Structure 1
Amino acid sequence: MSKLVKTMLLSLVIIILVGVVAAVIVLNVLEKRDKGNEQTIDEIVEYSYQTPEITTDLSDGSFVRVQFQIVTDGKKARKEIEKRDFQVKNILIKELAKMDEESFKSGLSDVEDILQVELNKVMKKGKVVDVYTISKILQ
């Protein structure tokens, strides 16, 4: 074989090896980063905001008192959600006014999902990760 062919083959093998090593490193780094995105319980508590109890009426005349724990993705988002307390109340009152007693009993997780989606629409410094119902009384 000529010297030029040997040099080309050696260069090609080196390029392939470097590419494989780079791919393995990148995939491992991305996998570790994805695993690191899950919040610990301490972070969940630190980044959470507890709404005050909200009392409102349902469409059938029943009254409900609810309280939520809103989990955000960081400190800035938690501070922002505290300032948006009036919007939280507004969203809840509007959504609960559409429900009757039976739909409230069976659709509480829907209220949590709607609250999360609607708050994420107005958030500027982060996002709402999850919403938990921590207290409810139906009268």
Structure 2
Amino acid sequence: MFKNRLLKIMIIILLALTLIGALTLVLYTQFFDEASAHEEQTIDDILRLSVETDEIITNLYTNHIIRAQFVIELDSMKARNEFEKRDFQVENLIIQELSDMKESDFRGSDGIRQIEEQLRLRVNEIMQDGEVVNVYMNQRVIQ
């Protein structure tokens, strides 16, 4: 009778410790994820995770010539390394996208934002080890 009661108490204590440990782990991961999600990136972090493309010169759909350069912000160093290896593919995608555009597509900030978003989506299609967070048009000249 004594052994049976002792065994029950020991099982209850082990279950209680297991539940406390599981609860602690869940709460810690939840608060840790929230803290990292709310942290703003510093400009140094953004620069470290950004890649500037070479200057690209190509014809637009309307036979105008555009000279443009972009800064691509990535989400991790692993993504940045992959992006640097894929630079020829990215430049090809940019040329394809620019070749389908008209001079009027570059008018106003809404047009530029739309182009940046379109390029972000297209580059993310080829990325495997991360993703593009933002695309910034660094310079553009249309002739």
Unmatched segments (≥5 aa) in structure 2: 1-19
Matches within 5 A, 1:1-139: 28-36=31-39, 38-106=40-108, 107-139=111-143
Unmatched segments (≥5 aa) in structure 1: 1-17
Superposed displacement of residue 50, structure 1: 0.3
TM-score with structure 1 length normalisation? 0.76
Q: How many residues align?
A: 123
| Cα-Cα RMSD | 2.4
Superposed displacement of residue 93, structure 1: 1.4
TM-score with structure 2 length normalisation? 0.74
Measure the CA separation in 2 of the matches of 1:30 and 1:76.
20
Q: 1:75 to 1:30 in 2, by over 3 A?
A: closer
Measure the CA separation in 1 of the matches of 2:106 and 2:49.
27
Superposed displacement of residue 104, structure 1: 2.4
Asked if the contact 1:88–1:115 (Cα under 8 Å) also holds between the matched residues in 2, the reply is no
Superposed displacement of residue 24, structure 1: 7.0
Letter in 1 for 2:113: S
Identical aligned residues as a percent: 39
